Amino acid sequence: MTQTSLKHSKRVQTMLTAPQFDLLSKHATQVNKPISVLVRETIEEMLLKELRQQRKRRALEWMTAQELPVDDWEVMERQVESRWEECWDE
């Protein structure tokens, strides 16, 4: 899911130098997109994806650091399957 598909509800304002704006404006015209879309897409690609990946890595590190009971795969699989069946019986 891309952020551009969501309804935008927060405004962000920034100041650019005249040369920055001119270059961005020319590029927006070339690719036939509004500057605001280019800015959102760039933020998504250059920053937000990496921030999400960092959160996932931290979560994985936390999960693997836990001392959870682990058994042979066949035993764990039977436990999961029996709990799944119990859910359907309720």
Domain boundaries, the chain: 16-89
Residue 1: per-residue pLDDT:
46
Residues of the chain with pLDDT under 70: 1-6, 68, 86-90
Q: Quick one: pLDDT at residue 14?
A: 93
- How confident is the model at residue 50, as a pLDDT? 92
What's the pLDDT at 90? 53
User: Do residues 35 and 25 make contact, with C-beta atoms less than 8 angstroms apart?
Assistant: yes
pTM greater than 0.75: no
The single-letter DSSP state of residue 32 is: T
Among the residues of 1-90, which ranges form H helices? 18-31, 35-43, 49-65, 73-89
Single-letter amino acid, residue 30 = Q
Instruction: Give every CB contact of residue 40 below 8 A, 6+ residues apart in sequence.
Output: 3, 4, 8
The pLDDT of residue 64 is 78
